[in-house]
A and B are shown apart, each in its own frame.
Chain A
Amino acid sequence: MLSINELTYAFPGTGPIFQKINLRVEPGEFVSVIGPSGSGKSTLFKLITGLLEPDQGEIGIKGVYLGARLGKVGYMPQKDLLLPWRTVLDNVMLPLEVEGRRGSLPEVQKWLSRFGLSGYEKAFPDELSGGMRQRAAFLRTIMTGKELLLLDEPFGALDALTKRNMHSWLLGLWEELQKTVLFITHDLEEAILLSDRIYLLGGPDVQEWKVGLSRPRNSEQIYQPEFIELRRELERLIHHEN
């Protein structure tokens, strides 16, 4: 679905953030990217979406390495960036408008209720709670119709309880979503709970770590000894790297 080969990138006037890194995401996978602040996670996403171009190396989406990447993946930025003057429905329909497509309203309605937003179609973003705004932004990303979704810390700004709810909700939705997700987070627990694999950013090279948990999962698993052991292992890996 996504392959990044020998990617090198530097902001003008600074040392490289990425030096020949490789990364791969298979169709249907949920892959997290973790790393300390400043390790270039968001930059990586901007490179994949095509907002930035790599200095060296190549980025392929569905096996296509050439041509513009803009408009090829669904991107959910760190802030929800819902347009404040549009209703929830109009915000969610934005990707369709941009592409000049007409969405079928019943289909959108179905999604809205699946995202816990039915009844709020006509509400404006400032009337929603943080969790709802995040879900609306997530739904907008899904409405791009792209198979690969890049989610940049979607739950980063939520309080612990709301975050927990979002995890259970997302795990329950995951099977029917049929998408491929690349997910940025600071939260190790979240990364383990949600992903199939985790990439560690920040060292000279990226490190890959498989999450040995079967699906379907539920958010209660974080209390199981098996999960806690995984978390300890991941923390050791991070400390070792630094």
Chain B
Amino acid sequence: MKIKWKKWMADYGLFLLVVICLVSIWEWVVRAGGVPSFILPSPSSIWRALVEHRDLLLGEHLPATLIEVLIGFGLSLAGGILFGVGMHFSNLLEKIFYPFLVISQTVPLIAISPIFILWFGYSIWSKVAVTFLIAFFPIVVSTYDGLKAGGDEYRELLRTMGAGRWMMFKKIQIPMALPSVLSGLKMAVVYSVTGATIGEWLGASEGLGYFSRRMSGNLQADAVFAAIFLLSIMGIVLFLTISFVENRLLRNVTRGR
């Protein structure tokens, strides 16, 4: 326990110290009257706003955004991996869809999102669609690239043992692709939070993105910051969740690399 704590401090102690310093300076600058509070609220007033709106924020808006993120990310995960594997196995699929995939990323998200509102209305699905559009790409690419990565010699060895394509896929390619897939997932899960927030800005009746936009309209900067704070906490927690899964899965895969 003590050793764990020590290691934790060694890893994050410096970061924590800098955060504390920055927040203190921030608080001091605002209190000293350097910046008006509707431009940059002080950390303490952000905290007060968080406490004041806690029922709305934690009871209504946070769960709404979280659900959008989880559904959008879940669909990207399933679709992205399926597509990545599909493109790996089928040249035809790759030739047809890879360009589309790249194009889908060059279209500005903000520009295309109103179309989703047009299609899906103000329901949760317009937000899920934006999330999906943004999270799908890193997952497909990381899966596809991960499966391509090397391992030819291992595959030859398995072929001499009489292994078929599926067997090689299972024993060699999946383990070798895992590191890449999981990096993709880590990016995708953070993007998902961005996606859901943008979706909410464009049209929603609940969610942290919607809340921050409404509060910004009211010039309540402290409440806007409170929502942003919760959004980034959400992103961090989701990221750490994937990292945890990664550590579990990759304990041995990355050996010897």
Tell whether, in the assembled complex, residue B160 and residue A49 are in contact, meaning their CB atoms are under 8 Å apart.
Answer: yes
Tell whether, in the assembled complex, residue A84 and residue B153 are in contact, meaning their CB atoms are under 8 Å apart.
Answer: no
Q: Which of B62-70, B201-209, B249-257 contacts A (4 or more CB under 8 A)?
A: B249-257
Q: Is A144 an interface residue (CB 8 A)?
A: yes
Residue on B nearest A51 in the bound complex, by CB? B156
Main secondary structure of the interface of A (DSSP, over half): loop
Q: Is A85 an interface residue (CB 8 A)?
A: yes
Q: Is A83 an interface residue (CB 8 A)?
A: yes
- Residues on A close to B: CB < 8 A? 49-51, 70-73, 75, 77, 79, 81, 83-86, 94-95, 97-99, 124-126, 144
Q: Which of B11-19, B90-98, B167-175 contacts A (4 or more CB under 8 A)?
A: B167-175
Given contacts A83-B175, A94-B171, A126-B256, A70 and B154 within 8 Å (CB-CB): no
Smallest distance from the beta carbon of B148 to chain A beta carbons, Å? Answer: 18
**Subset of 6 A-B contacts with CB under 8 Å:** A81-B154, A98-B167, A98-B171, A99-B161, A125-B256, A126-B255
Tell whether, in the assembled complex, residue A73 and residue B160 are in contact, meaning their CB atoms are under 8 Å apart.
Answer: yes
Tell whether, in the assembled complex, residue B175 and residue A70 are in contact, meaning their CB atoms are under 8 Å apart.
Answer: no
Residue on A nearest B256 in the bound complex, by CB? A84
Residue on B nearest A80 in the bound complex, by CB? B157
Tell whether, in the assembled complex, residue B171 and residue A97 are in contact, meaning their CB atoms are under 8 Å apart.
Answer: yes
Smallest distance from the beta carbon of A229 to chain B beta carbons, Å? Answer: 38
Q: Is B82 an interface residue (CB 8 A)?
A: no
Q: Which of B167, B256, B257 has the most CB of A within 10 A?
A: B256
Smallest distance from the beta carbon of A121 to chain B beta carbons, Å? Answer: 14
Main secondary structure of the interface of B (DSSP, over half): helix
Given contacts A81-B157, A83-B172, A85-B175, A98 and B163 within 8 Å (CB-CB): yes
Tell whether, in the assembled complex, residue B252 and residue A75 are in contact, meaning their CB atoms are under 8 Å apart.
Answer: no
Tell whether, in the assembled complex, residue B175 and residue A71 are in contact, meaning their CB atoms are under 8 Å apart.
Answer: no
Q: Is B162 an interface residue (CB 8 A)?
A: yes
Q: Is B49 an interface residue (CB 8 A)?
A: no
Tell whether, in the assembled complex, residue B158 and residue A98 are in contact, meaning their CB atoms are under 8 Å apart.
Answer: yes
Q: Which of B157, B163, B255 has the most CB of A within 10 A?
A: B157
Tell whether, in the assembled complex, residue A51 and residue B160 are in contact, meaning their CB atoms are under 8 Å apart.
Answer: yes
Tell whether, in the assembled complex, residue B161 and residue A94 are in contact, meaning their CB atoms are under 8 Å apart.
Answer: yes
Q: From the candidates B161, B175, B252, B254, name the one contacting A98 in the complex (CB within 8 A).
A: B161
- Residues on B close to A: CB < 8 A? 153-154, 156-163, 167, 171-172, 175, 252-257
Residue on A nearest B159 in the bound complex, by CB? A70
Q: Which of B158, B161, B256 has the most CB of A within 10 A?
A: B161
Smallest distance from the beta carbon of A59 to chain B beta carbons, Å? Answer: 14
Closest 9 pairs (CB-CB, A-B): A71-B162, A84-B256, A75-B160, A85-B252, A126-B256, A85-B253, A84-B255, A49-B160, A98-B161
Residues of B contacting A86 with CB < 8 Å?
252
Residues of A contacting B256 with CB < 8 Å?
84, 124-126
Tell whether, in the assembled complex, residue A75 and residue B157 are in contact, meaning their CB atoms are under 8 Å apart.
Answer: yes
Residues of B contacting A98 with CB < 8 Å?
158, 161-163, 167, 171
Smallest distance from the beta carbon of B149 to chain A beta carbons, Å? Answer: 14
Given contacts A73-B160, A81-B154, 10 further A-B pairs with CB under 8 A are: A49-B160, A50-B160, A77-B157, A79-B153, A81-B153, A83-B154, A85-B255, A86-B252, A99-B161, A126-B256
Q: From the candidates A49, A77, A97, name the one contacting B153 in the complex (CB within 8 A).
A: A77
Given contacts A83-B172, A94-B171, A98-B171, A51 and B159 within 8 Å (CB-CB): yes
Residues of B contacting A79 with CB < 8 Å?
153
Tell whether, in the assembled complex, residue A84 and residue B160 are in contact, meaning their CB atoms are under 8 Å apart.
Answer: no
Residues of B contacting A85 with CB < 8 Å?
175, 252-255
Tell whether, in the assembled complex, residue A71 and residue B157 are in contact, meaning their CB atoms are under 8 Å apart.
Answer: no
Residue on B nearest A75 in the bound complex, by CB? B160
Q: Which of A51, A71, A125, A144 has the most CB of B within 10 A?
A: A71
